[in-house]
Amino acid sequence: MSLTDTRILPNIYDGLATPSLLSPSISTKPGSPKQHSAQNNVSIAPLAPRITGKSSLNIQSPDQSVPDKSKLAASLTYPPAPPSTLVNWPIGSLQPAQVPLPLKLPPARSHLKSDPDSLTRERKGKMPALTHLLSVGNGRVLSITADAKFIYAGCQSKDNEITVFSRASLQPMYRLMGHEGSVLALLVIEERKWLISASCAGDVRIWSTNTLELIYVIHPCDDTAGDIYSIAWDEREGGTLYLGSQSASIEWVNFSGKGPSRRRRISASAASTIEVVPISQNGVDPAASRPGPSQRSGRYKPHHFFNNPPEGGSRPGSGISTPRSPVPASNNKDFITSADLDKLSLNERAEHPATEIEIGAGSRIAFAHYGYIYALQVISRPNGTKWLVSGSGDSDVKIWECESGGGLTLVKEFNSLSGGVLSFAVRDSLLYAGLQAGEIVVWDLETGACIRTIEAHDADVLSMSVLGGDVYTAAADGRVLRVNEEFDCTAIWNAHAGTAMSTIIVKGTRSSSWELITTGSDSFVKIWNIEESRSANHDSELHVEGEGDVMLYALSKLIAVPTISDDQHRESCRQGAHLLKKIFSQLGANSEVLSGEQGKNPLVLATFSGRDTGKPRKRLLFYGHYDVQPADEEKWETNPWELSGRNGYLYGRGVTDNKGPVLAVACAAASLRQRRELDVDLVMIIEGEEEAGSRGFASTVRKHKSDIGHIDAVLLSNSTWIDEEDPCVVFGMRGVVYANLSVSSDVKDLHNGVDGGATTEPMFDMVRVLAALSDKDGVKVPGFYDSVCPPTDEEISFLKDVSSASGRSVEELIRVWRQPSFSIANIGSSGSGNKTVIPQKVSADISMRIVPDQQLDDIVKGLKAYAKNVFDDLDSPNKFEIQVTHSASWWLTSLDSPYFKALESSVKDVWGMKPLKIREGGTVPTVFWLEKEFGAPCVHLPLGQSSDSGHLANERMRLLNLRNGKRVIEAYLGRLADI
């Protein structure tokens, strides 16, 4: 199936919404008590409009209009829905926990394709898919907003910080601190490059989204507003900011001309802090244990829900502190670096201090409502005017006409609703109001008529966001609903454990898709991939562009297959090979599965053919493997066989070693083909026995060598960087010799109390032989070091660069990269392990790493001869054997090779920095063999970071590395055509 096939999935992770919406696997179990929940109670009932028609304030009796404060507290901590109706996936799972929809669905929505091996999914009935999970650590996320570069999460924690995540890397970058109370509302003003934040301490702050400097600190009139629950912006006349508070007042400040009165300048360094998220490899946030500032309030005591840090903090190992991202290409800077912050030193920032503003009594409507003002929304009118809609705990909605320089006149109100008004959304000419206890009321703004009342949730509707004809609603029960233009519920899922606090919809950073970002009291920010219903084009062509939507989806499917290269997983490996073949085919390659040797896993051969340029095309051979190491599930924070996203990292067994790099290469070729820019042939050989020693690889490749054809260069990506921030290219690896030594006697195991001292024990012979092979000065095999080449001045220069970046000494790097080594892997015996037994046979496994210019055959011969001579000198009656079980030569590429230089330049183009040239102490046996077999030079591009934990629990790969790795491969394939 080619990339132009219109049936192929065009968006990320669509298949992760399977099982289908009506799947019995997520229904209530038969025989269980019937649960009353939102998904079984989504009904629509007409409601007569309640319009007063008054143009002045209508203050009612407190006994009639103010909701019980204790009930409000209960709603804000509403417990999750009954577990019997939900699917509980592991923390960080990219599978949304779905709730069954009502049986009345649009006809096409019950026909989702669920072929687990297909990249094709229908658009109809598609559930939003969780693409990434971010964590703020020991705090709740109460508010959220975003711009093109950052996601801003307002927290309730000890520091009450605003955590700033990069949208490029999805990693926590900075914390903006200074609020003395929980951050209840956030708003980005794109035209001013402002971030506005409001807190329960009664202050509002305005920050620069370019520099993260604090610009303004705003205090409400008389400093008695209490919690600032809501903010809204009217861009006219320099801009007017409206505040809705606990004092039931609406206040405003205008920024035109000289601006508001009662201003005074304060030191920005004293008023706020920009804190770089610390690098921590163990996932512990150093700032988490720091005592925080006391809460500040005015006349009103802030609600207890917003003032107490969550008990128990975040889930362990949530990954709050992760290494800070390096800068991408300098011409495409996606986020602020530490160097940028250095420019904002305290001394410099003191020259540009923040301005403190106190709102005057003339810029306030006292008692605009008779309850806390939880929601504000500015609406643009067809005649160019603006309306401000306010919602309160007094169960009223009021619509005000905004004066261009600030000020309000009441236009109309909708009162006596069924509960407090907590959120708003505007779609076309309709106003949606989310209420306490779960109702959503919809009015026509032109006529004032109430259109519908939607019984959406069983808990307070705290946030709503609009995309096209869909409205996404989030509630205190942790659920999110999608309601279409006909007010039907088309999707419902459990988004957060506890309360879903805030939502926002933003344009996807790297594709034509959209993202729904949600926050919850569970300390997480979640990013969901969604589509605009009105612009859905069922015949649109798949684009592998947009940073690899298909790449991530395919990776999720490949991770789900436990392709462990042992006898117990032969069938899984077979299925994995066929899945990989199908993925390659759908990406546009001519692919096939090659049978390995008897009892060995198959290989996958795929060829992406370049376009006809009228001249012979270069042919690049990429080598990789789909098999993985076993996973000890108990040590993983998430399911190792399910791709999970958390704080800019993808987790899953094989994600970095080697399934992620394999798909990055394939999708790079597919992207170039789609743009008609692939001018070389890319041949991919992916084996299934690498983790088991590449058994049968050579013979299978030779058998199909005619199908592979001529090769000009070889590429592999099967390792990681030397550190966290510096991209690397590998130009050398050590070789290896594995050998088994055994000493045995002619008699069976003996008792050392009976025969000890009267027999020559095999264990002593083995110890003497091993001691003779190596000591503190190195390997004792004669001539072992004779051909080891010394480092050149150029290489010493490379080693110094690496030493400076990694913190490892040049001497250490020389020992592990350029010097041979000898290791004793294990010693075993025929005895039972009882201390009284003299074993009849003792064996030992040894490993020797070799370097340029040691000759493999000479090393093997020298080792065998020397070990045999040492044993013979013992004059022992026992028998000695040495058998080389595996060997592979070292590999060293020429730094002057045009293929190496092209790779180096490609890395620099994408990452914006020259890569470190590194060597490795380990061995990839196929590298030297492929070079020799095809007579083609090899280059090695590591994609992951040093902390990827390739063979360990919680294996991961940074999303930025995977995406940039695809870019590097695209650039490299482009350069090959010109060599």
Annotated catalytic residues are 627, 690
How long, in residues, is the chain?
979
Residues with Cβ within 8 Å of 700's Cβ and at least 6 positions away in sequence, in order, are 594, 595, 596, 597, 603
Separation of alpha carbons 405 and 238, rounded Å: 8
- DSSP assignments along 707-747, one per residue: HH---SEEEE---B-SSSS--EEEEEE-EEEEEEEEEE-SS
Separation of alpha carbons 889 and 735, rounded Å: 4
Residues with Cβ within 8 Å of 870's Cβ and at least 6 positions away in sequence, in order, are 768, 769, 772, 773
Parallel, antiparallel, or unpaired: how do β-strands 140-146 and 194-199 relate?
Answer: unpaired
Parallel, antiparallel, or unpaired: how do β-strands 938-940 and 713-716 relate?
Answer: parallel
The H or E element that residue 606 is part of is: strand 603-608
Separation of alpha carbons 591 and 671, rounded Å: 17
The H or E element that residue 464 is part of is: strand 461-467
Is the separation of the CB atoms in 548 and 961 below 8 Å? no
Residues with Cβ within 8 Å of 476's Cβ and at least 6 positions away in sequence, in order, are 75, 76, 77, 78, 457, 459, 460, 462, 499, 500
546 dihedral zone (left: phi>0; alpha: psi -120 to 50; beta): left
Please give the distance of CA 736 from its chain centroid, rounded to a whole number. 36
Please give the distance of CA 561 from its chain centroid, rounded to a whole number. 20
State the Rg of the chain over Cα.
33
Cβ atoms within 10 A of the Cβ of 924, count?
A: 23
Among the listed residues 931, 976, 80, 7, the one whose alpha carbon sits nearest the alpha carbon of residue 498 = 80
Among the listed residues 439, 420, 441, 429, the one whose alpha carbon sits nearest the alpha carbon of residue 375 = 420
- DSSP assignments along 367-429, one per residue: TSSSS-EEEEEEEE-TTS-EEEEEEETTS-EEEEEEPTTS-EEEEEEE-S-SS-EEEEEEETT
212 dihedral zone (left: phi>0; alpha: psi -120 to 50; beta): left
Is 23 exposed, middle or buried (CB count within 10 Å of its CB: 0-12, 13-18, 19+)?
Answer: middle
Is 1 exposed, middle or buried (CB count within 10 Å of its CB: 0-12, 13-18, 19+)?
Answer: middle
Q: Which amino acid is at 267?
A: S
Separation of alpha carbons 393 and 822, rounded Å: 75
The H or E element that residue 969 is part of is: helix 959-976
The H or E element that residue 130 is part of is: strand 129-135
Separation of alpha carbons 483 and 567, rounded Å: 50
Among the listed residues 838, 901, 840, 887, the one whose alpha carbon sits nearest the alpha carbon of residue 859 = 887
Is the separation of the CB atoms in 549 and 10 below 8 Å? yes
Residue that has been written with the tokens 């020797």 in this structure:
848
Separation of alpha carbons 725 and 945, rounded Å: 8
Q: Helix, strand, coil shares of the chain as percentages rounded to 5?
A: 25, 30, 45
Residue that has been written with the tokens 């923040």 in this structure:
354
